[in-house]
Chain A
Amino acid sequence: MNEMTTMAELRDVVLDPAKRRHYQLAWLSTVDHKRIGVLYMVTGLFFLIVGGIEALVIRLQLAVPNNNLVAPDTFNQLFTLHGTTMIFLVAMPLLFGFVNYILPLQIGARDMAFPRLNAFGYWCQPFGGILLHFSILAGGAPAVGWFSYAPLSETPYSSSPGVDYWAISLFVLGLGTISFAVNTIATVISCRAPGMTMRRLPLFTWMNFVNSFLILIALPVLNAGLAMILIDRQLDGHFFLPFRGGSAVLWQHIFWAFGHPEVYIVVLPAFGMISEIIPVFSRKPIFGYEFVAASTVAIVVLSSLVWGHHMFTVGMGRALDLFFIITSMLIAIPTGVKVLNWSATMIGGRIRFSVPMLFCIAFLVQFLCAGLTGISHASAALDWQTKNSYYLVAHFHFVFVGAIVFAMLGALPYWFPKMSGRMMSESLGKWTFWLWVIGFNMTFIIQHVLGLYGMPRRIFTYPDIPGWGWMNMVSTIGVFFMGAGTLVLVWNLAVSYFQGKIAGDNPWDAWTLEWATTSPPPHENFLALPPIHSRRPLWDITNPDRPDPIVGDDQVDLPDHNKTGVLAFLFSEVGFFGTLILAYLYFYAHPQAGPGPKELDLPRTLVFSVCLFASSFTFWRSEVALHKQLRGSMLGWLALTIALGAVFLGGQASEYWKLFQTGVDLSTNMFSTTFFTLTGFHGLHVLIGLITLLIFLWMAWQGDSAFAKFDTAFKCVGYYWHFVDIVWVFVLLTVYLLPLLR
């Protein structure tokens, strides 16, 4: 944003046209984590307004009974776009923007571990957002709800390309999110400042670090599901088409196996913000750092065990319902621990009721309500009554708006001074706060009642039932308060950016490292880092006579960031292939008429598999040769690796060809759909590996000068190559060898 140094530089060079052009392009070509963070936030804010307008139209349509402001189909498109936009294009980019800007500063890093990957992750956001909204011009937006239940989302029932745009857009956004998580993990593990041990991480950093693992667990599952539904729609597969042998419930399992962790993916960064702001404005260190940190880990572990509570009404059976009830109630414990810790931090503190703190207090109250209605949903019996009613709508808006949006609205004035060098206006901030508190509670508290009165969600209008009319009207009026609050916020941002009070380095007397540098920070973030021995290094500086207790020893181990990054990426690939293999097994257990595993040529495949496994060995030899600086030997082994990989791909291609010859293609039956999907994605990974290896071969062939440098990079490619081989072990076992047991 208004980077003072950059502005000064600009004035100096204003007459140099070349540099000026560069400056104009700089925001587009930037790889600086601070600028990317701001870009993320601006994108998120833009889509907040888009999604907000969608919400406004929805509420206007529902304001009075028997309304016909919008047509039923338009209404369906609106709530689909609203949900998808708010989660994937507002909550995630806004939160990731904060993380991008603040996290490297908090650990004293110069930038994210992979700046260019960071830029890639960001540009996926606007690209995905445009793809999603382009569907409006391309024949109709998706009208299937944000979870896009099958079979409604399949071609026979949704023939316009809306769902295709929805799936591709989410796929693109998912790739961006995964790259962001990989980057965050590598940054935290490999780019910390001296003395910043893992035990001393600020809670915002810790929670986002742990959260990145959750992203790597959950997002690949969604991506696998999206790939399946695209295959269904574009290549005539039938994963989720019941009348062709597919399973609509499988989509629900896949979607919610992603969808429930997704709630925590967006709420954990918000928890992180709260955990930073509350101590600073209570003038006390966080109460029970260890409990807040450990409960985050507990949430991540438990959150992948609870998705079934979205499916109580599907008829999963009493046993499944019971287990999901228990896990869903269990997850309230670590969340409750956090609320207690935040409250205990405030007790006995000298609380400053500045705007960031006001939002945090509102967060605590509203999040508590959200949690309580959440627990009520964990009970299957109650869930059967309230499912898909406005009670549910009210619940998740309390989570997403009452908790997450409020945390971000608090974090914005908290960190804005660091980003811009200027304070945001307190009085305008209080206007935003009260408008949002009143508007939010007006809109959503009454929706609980509406839901209990039986109003279902996703209806475009309703008859004039006593009570419904005025309650909906109240709900709609609340939206205008929130809209007005947002306008004040935008006005506040604009005014403060140009005329706000100069902030100085540390306007809030906060204790984490981001406040140790100038506001805004210079391009390289820090000129010099303070000594770090505790969790509050800046407190130790200002209070040398009573520093915080030293936490652990100062020893910091920083593994190579390339290796960390590649391993994190491969961790996400496990989820992707795991989902595909489980889907294969699911349909393998229900054999259909037509082609099956017996069509496959096992002995031939075994030969080609040996080639693939041998390529792992030859790659290892090539690595050893590189280590010993034997260029010729390295080139030879590498070429052999590529040749073996190519032979394997050739074998796969000939198997496909043979199947095509006998009239078996992807659309024949469930076996062919799952077989081609699973082996196809594996083949694609082999192909990408081969291209990477060819690039290395070419580089090694070209020059000796760079030769010595790619030791680590070569090892990382090796990780990928070996991983692809290991995946094939599992594919071979499930697809080719399992039928032998029958």
Chain B
Amino acid sequence: MTTYQFFTTAWTWNSIGLSLVILSCVAYWLAFGRQGRPLYFAGAIVVFLLAMVSPLSALADGYVFSAHMVQHILLVLIVPALLLLSLPRSFSLGPPLTYFNHPLIGWIAGVGAMWLWHAPALCNAAATSRIVLAIQTTSLLIMGSVFWWQVLAPREAQRLSPPAGIVYLFTACTACSVLGIILTFAPVSICPVYQQPVDRLGILSIIRGDWGLTSDRDQQIGGLLMWVPMCAIYAAAILAQMARWHSSPQPEQSNA
């Protein structure tokens, strides 16, 4: 198999995932109709499919740790953010769920989603078992949503104030960077499955040979992805907070 063949054939359209996506689209339309912001929702669906169906998913499935990391970042940071943005401005949580509306819980969910699933045992399990993978995917989406709720909640009143939002995002960025640094410099494999992949698709020779991706370098890139591009996402969110802060409405010119 060549690289080209791999990227054209390794799309894993499975029926459960697809039907879930279609169902959620229908549910979104029924729930919000014209009030919603379908572009963001479509974005969320596209990114989700990119993470779960595209060759990225095939690579993340026990072959390449850094592909797993991209998948992880998309699921915990990008998809939930787009989902929250797609909610209509009038949306708010029902009473039992407001329990989650605490910055500390959001922070622990966001940082925990990174740390927890990179404990070697859990990371291995997710890369080998379909069920664990499904649990992982769901939990990442939920934890990511709980994390982003603090800064992207549909109602302004439910969000953190911009300065608090900056502190929230910055500390989360630091906590994830530390994990990234550990992954980058760890001399041992964090997720041993990726060290000796079971070559089900016959692409290991491409990965190790054509792409030159040894397992050490793979883990290093994975750690760097968690460290640098992820921090760039947080940094962008921090700048968005600055923009929100400085564009908050001017008072009436009564003092002038």
Residues of A within 8 A of B (CB): 198-199, 290, 293-294, 297-298, 301-302, 304-305, 317-320, 323, 326-327, 330, 531, 533, 547, 549-554, 578, 582, 585-586, 589-590, 741
* Distance, CA A297 to CA B239, complexed state (A): 8
Q: Which 6 pairs across A and B sit closest by C-beta, in order of nearness?
A: A294-B242, A290-B246, A301-B235, A323-B224, A319-B220, A553-B251
- Contact residue among A293, A318, A590 (Cβ-Cβ distance under 8 Å from B242): A293
Give the distance to chain B from A366, nearest Cβ to Cβ, in Å: 28
B235 engages A290 (CB within 8 Å): no
Alpha-carbon separation in the docked complex, A500 to B217 (Å): 65
A317-B217, A586-B185 known; A305+B178 contact, CB < 8 A: no
Query: Using an 8 Å CB-CB cutoff, how does the interface string of B221-256 with A read, 1 for contact, 0 for none?
Result: 100100110011011001100110110101101011
Cβ of B166 within 8 Å of any chain A Cβ, yes or no, is yes
**Which residues of A have CB within 8 Å of B40?**
none
7 A–B contacts from the bound complex (CB under 8 Å): A199-B245, A294-B246, A298-B239, A305-B227, A531-B255, A553-B251, A741-B120
Tell me if B33 counts as interface (CB < 8 A to partner A): no
Q: Which of B86-117 contact A (CB under 8 A)?
A: none
Residues of B195-234 at the interface with A, using a CB-CB cut-off of 8 Å, are 217, 220-221, 224, 227-228, 231-232, 234
- Chain A residue numbers with a CB within 8 Å of B242 are 290, 293-294, 297
Q: Are B255 and A533 in contact (CB under 8 A)?
A: yes
Least distance between A574 CB and chain B CB atoms (Å): 8
**Chain B contact residue count (CB 8 A cutoff):** 36
- One digit per residue, 1 when the CB lies within 8 angstroms of any chain A CB and 0 when it does not, for chain B 163-205 equals 1001000100100011001101111100000000000000000
Which residues of chain B are within 8 angstroms of A549 by Cβ–Cβ distance? Answer: 250
User: Could you tell me if B220 and A301 are in contact, using CB atoms closer than 8 angstroms?
Assistant: no
What residues make up the interface of B, taking CB atoms closer than 8 Å to A? 120, 163, 166, 170, 173, 177-178, 181-182, 184-188, 217, 220-221, 224, 227-228, 231-232, 234-235, 238-239, 242-243, 245-246, 248, 250-251, 253, 255-256
Taking a contact as CB atoms under 8 Å apart, the answer to whether A582 and B235 are in contact is: no
Q: Which of A304, A326, A550, A585 contacts B250 (CB 8 A)?
A: A550
A302 to B238 CA separation, bound complex (whole angstroms): 11
Closest-by-CB residue of A relative to B163 is A198
- A326 contact set on B, CB distance < 8 A: 228
Is B228's CB under 8 angstroms from A582's CB? no
Name the residue on B nearest A257 (C-beta).
Answer: B181
What is the bound-complex CA distance between A293 and B245, given in angstroms? 11
B170 near A552 with CB under 8 A, answer no
Given B185, B217, B256, which contacts A547 in the complex, CB threshold below 8 Å? B256
A553: chain B residues at CB < 8 Å are 251
A298: which B residues are within 8 A, CB to CB? 235, 238-239
- Residues of B close to A531: CB separation below 8 A: 255
Q: Which residues of A contact B255 (CB under 8 A)?
A: 531, 533, 550, 554
Residues of A near B163 (CB, < 8 A) are: 198
Known: A199-B245, A547-B256, A585-B182. A552 touches B251 (CB 8 A): yes
Q: How far is the CA of A304 from the CA of B171 in the complex (A)?
A: 13
Shortest beta-carbon distance from A193 to chain B in Å: 15
- Say whether, besides A550-B251, A553-B251, A297 and B166 are in contact (CB < 8 Å): yes
User: Are A301 and B170 in contact, with the CB atoms below 8 A?
Assistant: yes
| Residue of A with least CB distance to B231 | A305
- Please measure, in the bound complex, the distance between the C-alpha atom of A290 and the C-alpha atom of B246, giving whole angstroms: 7
Q: Quote the shortest CB–CB distance from A512 to chain B (angstroms).
A: 19
A319 proximity list for chain B (CB < 8 A): 217, 220-221, 224
Contacts of B231 in A (CB 8 A): 301, 305
Known A301-B170, A301-B231, A590-B187; contact A294-B239, beta-carbon cutoff 8 A: yes
- What is the bound-complex CA distance between A495 and B38, given in angstroms? 71
